[in-house]
Amino acid sequence: MSEREFDVVVFGASGYTGKLVAEYIQSEYGENGSVKWAIAGRNREKLEGIREELGLSADLSILEVDSNDQGSLNAMTSSTKCVLTTVGPYQLYGSNLVESCAKNGTDYVDLTGEPGWMYEMINAHKETAQASGARIVFSCGFDSIPFDLGVYFVQQAAKDKFGKPAQHVRGRVKAMNGEFSGGTIASLGATMATLKKKPELIKVLANPFSLTEGFEGPAQLDDSKVLLDEKLNMWVAPFVMAPINTKNIHRSNALLDHQYGEDFCYDEMMIAGEGEEGKQIADAMTSANPMGGDNVPQPGEGPSKESREQGNYDVLFFADLGEESIEARVTGDMDPGYGSTSKMITESAICLIQDCSDLPGGIYTPAPAMGDKLIHRLVKKAGLTFDIL
């Protein structure tokens, strides 16, 4: 791919998250010219407006691309080493793009949290991507990078200390301040609509091993109800993103040749607190709908710059080996759904093309695709921390 015109094309740059991605690339890589990039979308006029609003170079290329026009998709994917797409819901607007990238040997990163669609894309395009050399990496935002890499990070520490991975890792969200993206909410709605047409996908959504291509591990803890985490002595509540994160983490384990073990268990919940008050908070968390209400953002909408910068998240990972445990912590310095996500997906794209020349083609999750290389980038550039406590 060395002869291609661009390193990265940002598809969907006129959308809310795409604009944040463009702003980040310009600030971190555009000034020194270390990344050759372009912006793409359906509406050239909107893209020209973004280019002017962000003060991007007048020479920055604009590509007119429609997700329903295979010809324009092929023109884009043939021109670049990697497509970074924020155009979701991916089950509505992403299938043709994945097909085009797989056929043309083009790397791909997205923000999907749609396991039914991911299941279909893996089955449809994995062999094509392997043959062409395309590295397709799903879920390169808040779902699921902090969780997927957090488990990878704590398991590396367990192997270093004990000579073996932990059979059980507990993911515990300590704090999460920020809004869910309009795209996440739209994806949930699209998934519900898809299930009416394809009821067979209900089994995919219910199975934590649905993305492991036939491997079925042990029964997992039911993290869909309020529990007392006895090791923390804290009440914990279901976490809305656990269903996608859990599937991605089990896929990562499978792609890493079961480095975490074939008997690996993972559960992911939100910390509510101690005692009766903690139980009440956990019950309240469970009954609330974080994606409901009249004030949720629509696709293309999002919080102010001030709100993004005031957001943050703090997630703990406990690798349990009998009576002993190793604790890791992953934090982000901006709101998870927008500010941090736009940095994570950008660094994923650049890591893929600059640091992962030895990675063969295929369909991946972040940890087996980029692992330590991406952790290093996220700490250095994107405001994340990874620490053993």
- Dump pLDDT digits (tens) for 180-202: 666 666 777 777 777 778 888 78
- In the chain, what percentage of residues exceed pLDDT 70? 94
Return the pLDDT at 290: 60
State mean pLDDT over 35-51: 96
Q: Give me 240's structure tokens.
A: 């809305």
Return the pLDDT at 298: 66
pLDDT digits (tens, 9 = 90+) for 83-95: 999 999 999 999 9
Whether 181 and 290 share a structural domain: yes
Q: Which pLDDT band holds residue 33 (cuts at 50, 70, 90)? A: confident
Whether 203 and 307 share a structural domain: yes
Whether 113 and 227 share a structural domain: no
Return the pLDDT at 319: 97
CATH code for the domain of 73 = 3.40.50.720
Report the DSSP pairing between strands 312-321 and 168-177. antiparallel
Q: Which pLDDT band holds residue 341 (cuts at 50, 70, 90)? A: very high
Model confidence at 268: pLDDT above 90 = yes
pTM for this structure? 0.94
What is the side-by-side strand order in the sheet with 234-238?
A: 227-229, 234-238, 265-273, 168-177, 312-321, 324-332, 384-388
State mean pLDDT over 338-348: 96
Return the pLDDT at 184: 67
State mean pLDDT over 321-348: 94
Establish if 249 belongs to a structural domain: yes
Lowest mean pLDDT among 59-73, 168-182, 253-267, 335-349: 168-182
Model confidence at 204: pLDDT above 90 = no
Whether 117 and 133 share a structural domain: yes
Return the pLDDT at 190: 74
Establish if 382 belongs to a structural domain: no
Whether 28 and 134 share a structural domain: yes
Whether 33 and 46 share a structural domain: yes
Establish if 380 belongs to a structural domain: no
Return the pLDDT at 299: 64
Return the pLDDT at 178: 83
Strand partners, 271: 236
State mean pLDDT over 52-65: 94
What average pLDDT does the structure give for the chain?
A: 92
Return the pLDDT at 369: 98
pLDDT digits (tens, 9 = 90+) for 290-302: 655 555 666 667 7
Whether 90 and 211 share a structural domain: no
Return the pLDDT at 195: 73
Model confidence at 19: pLDDT above 60 = yes
Token pair 């692992």 is found at 371
Q: 3-state DSSP call for residue 315?
A: strand
Whether 198 and 286 share a structural domain: yes
Closest among 173, 367, 333, 362 to 258, alpha carbons compared: 367
Q: Which domain holds residue 90?
A: 6-140+340-370
Which of the two residues, 99 and 224, has the higher pLDDT score? Answer: 99
- In the chain, what percentage of residues exceed pLDDT 90? 81
Establish if 90 belongs to a structural domain: yes
Model confidence at 1: pLDDT above 90 = no
Closest among 147, 160, 161 to 266, alpha carbons compared: 147
Whether 25 and 170 share a structural domain: no
Return the pLDDT at 225: 94
For the chain, the domain total comes to: 2
Model confidence at 34: pLDDT above 60 = yes
Of 309, 335, 361, the domain-final residue: 335
191 vs 203: CA distance, rounded Å: 13
Q: Which pLDDT band holds residue 308 (cuts at 50, 70, 90)? A: confident
Whether 179 and 218 share a structural domain: yes
Whether 170 and 117 share a structural domain: no
Cβ contact 115:210 at 8 Å: yes
Establish if 383 belongs to a structural domain: no
State mean pLDDT over 358-387: 98
Return the pLDDT at 182: 66
389 vs 380: CA distance, rounded Å: 19
Whether 254 and 121 share a structural domain: no
CB atoms within 10 A of CB 54: 18
In whole angstroms, what separates CA 19 from the centre of its chain? 18
